[in-house]
Amino acid sequence: MTTRTRNDQLFQTYVVGSLPRPRWVRDVIEDRRDGRLSTQDADRLLDSAIPSAIAMQERAGLTYVSDGEWRRESYIKVFSEHVDGFKLEAVPSVSRVVKEPAVVNPLRQRSPLAADAARFLVKATSQKSIVAIPSPYILGWRTWHAEYSKTAYPTREEYMEACVPILQSEMRALADAGVDHIQIDEPWLLMLVDPEHRKRIGATDMEKQIELCVKMVNAVTEAAGDVPTSMHLCHAHFNRQRYSEGGYEPIIDALGEIKVKRFAMEFAAPQSHGVDVLARFPKSKILGLGVIDHCDAQVEDPSTVVARVEAALKYVPPARVTLNPDCGFSPSTQNPMNFDEAYLKLASMCKAAEILRERHGR
Ligand SMILES: [Zn+2]
């Protein structure tokens, strides 16, 4: 029995967050955003839809399940959905496919970002729960725009600092809601390694940016108390295209300074340049190894996933390795991805975890 418990705790499987939404769910969110549907009516409809997202993940065999992030238009917009002070649909996103909010007035929180949704999830699943919130650093880059935001917050950094107390109180609310794991979404730390991306956003001093990101994420993480935390890094994607390129070398040492317990990192993507960098992965941290390429429509065999994990085991021992897809399957409602494909990919990942427990458990 002891052996079984120990084996079950190895190679735990997580989602990064979002799942593709059925078209009618996407319409509910967009109708809510555009005022055609009240928040209360949208909540009632989403309450009926989300149990199917949870059941899918449970059937796939995941240790940690999310609500598919079906209540939020995107992992960034969840902030402006619950905090006043934004001009919505103000500026084109990095992918230029959707429009994003810009902060125009001092922030004022209207409702919990994710704590109500988390209570629903915790009650609805028999598995462990994971809930994500955006980092103040990425909110600064995505929702502060000189043209619109200077009156409310003269600098991007001042705006990031203003996001911190809101996110800290959300961390405490998520802990109170009984969430098993909180993830901080911060893809831009990895995207900074790409010189093209730095040029696109006008970030000239990479070292200074890394320092600022670490400071912002740590300010929020501390509020989680005893609840385990992750930080998610990736290259960002839309319509099966990634938006940056580059391995983790320039930021791998910074990971050791970040106070989360675990990092959910994109590694199946060719843009990550392989797992050799894990030789420098901090020994005090848990690795969330990205083993599913959500941009590739081909469903990976469990044997492919096993091989990806065993390549990483050269550098990180089984006790510190967990499995996840490279990213959320659909971080915004507009991102066209396939629900059944996500199910098959998650099921394959979970089957691979079983094989790995047999092979590497004691
Ligand atoms: Zn991601």
Give residue 242 CA to ligand 1 midpoint distance, Å.
Answer: 10
Give residue 362 CA to ligand 1 midpoint distance, Å.
Answer: 33
Percent of the chain with pLDDT over 90: 90
Q: Is residue 2 part of a domain?
A: no
Q: Is residue 217 part of a domain?
A: yes
Q: Looking at the predicted structure, is the pLDDT value of residue 351 above 60?
A: yes
Give residue 275 CA to ligand 1 midpoint distance, Å.
Answer: 17
| CATH number, domain with residue 301 | 3.20.20.210
Give residue 215 CA to ligand 1 midpoint distance, Å.
Answer: 20
Confidence grade of residue 94 (pLDDT, cut at 50, 70, 90): confident
Query: What is the tens place of the pLDDT at every residue in 97-121?
Result: 788 999 999 999 999 999 999 999 9
Q: Looking at the predicted structure, is the pLDDT value of residue 293 above 50?
A: yes
Angle at 353 between CA 306 and CA 9, to 5 degrees: 135
CA distance 319 to 63: 15
Model pTM? Answer: 0.96
Query: What is the tens place of the pLDDT at every residue in 172-225?
Result: 999 999 999 999 999 999 999 999 999 999 998 999 999 999 999 999 999 999
Give residue 310 CA to ligand 1 midpoint distance, Å.
Answer: 23
Give residue 185 CA to ligand 1 midpoint distance, Å.
Answer: 7
Angle at 341 between CA 335 and CA 30, to 5 degrees: 30
Give residue 328 CA to ligand 1 midpoint distance, Å.
Answer: 6
Give residue 130 CA to ligand 1 midpoint distance, Å.
Answer: 15
Of 319, 310, 293, the C-alpha closest to 355 is 310
Give residue 278 CA to ligand 1 midpoint distance, Å.
Answer: 19
Q: Looking at the predicted structure, is the pLDDT value of residue 3 above 70?
A: no
Give residue 195 CA to ligand 1 midpoint distance, Å.
Answer: 19
- Residue 2: its pLDDT value, please? 43
Strands 237-238 and 241-242: antiparallel
- Residue 67: its pLDDT value, please? 98
Q: Is residue 4 part of a domain?
A: no
- Domain total for the chain? 1
| Lowest-confidence segment of 5-14, 144-153, 292-301 by average pLDDT | 5-14
Confidence grade of residue 1 (pLDDT, cut at 50, 70, 90): very low
Give residue 4 CA to ligand 1 midpoint distance, Å.
Answer: 32
Give residue 291 CA to ligand 1 midpoint distance, Å.
Answer: 13
Token pair, residue 44, equals 């009632």
Query: What is the tens place of the pLDDT at every residue in 223-242?
Result: 999 999 999 999 998 889 99
Q: Is residue 192 part of a domain?
A: yes
Confidence grade of residue 311 (pLDDT, cut at 50, 70, 90): very high
Q: Looking at the predicted structure, is the pLDDT value of residue 89 above 90?
A: no
Task: Taking residues 83-109, report their average pLDDT.
Answer: 90
Q: Is residue 55 part of a domain?
A: yes
Give residue 187 CA to ligand 1 midpoint distance, Å.
Answer: 6
Give residue 3 CA to ligand 1 midpoint distance, Å.
Answer: 34
Q: Is residue 3 part of a domain?
A: no
Q: Is residue 7 part of a domain?
A: no
CA distance 74 to 67: 13
Give residue 5 CA to ligand 1 midpoint distance, Å.
Answer: 31
Give residue 353 CA to ligand 1 midpoint distance, Å.
Answer: 21
Give residue 262 CA to ligand 1 midpoint distance, Å.
Answer: 15
Domain that holds residue 138: 13-360
Give residue 169 CA to ligand 1 midpoint distance, Å.
Answer: 24
Give residue 332 CA to ligand 1 midpoint distance, Å.
Answer: 11
Of 342, 307, 361, the C-alpha closest to 60 is 342
Mention every residue, 6+ apart, whose C-beta is less than 8 A from residue 189: 137, 210, 213, 231, 233, 251, 254
End-to-end, the C-alpha distance of the chain in Å comes to 12
Token pair, residue 303, equals 């044997």
Q: Is residue 269 part of a domain?
A: yes
pLDDT averaged over the chain?
A: 95
Give residue 289 CA to ligand 1 midpoint distance, Å.
Answer: 13
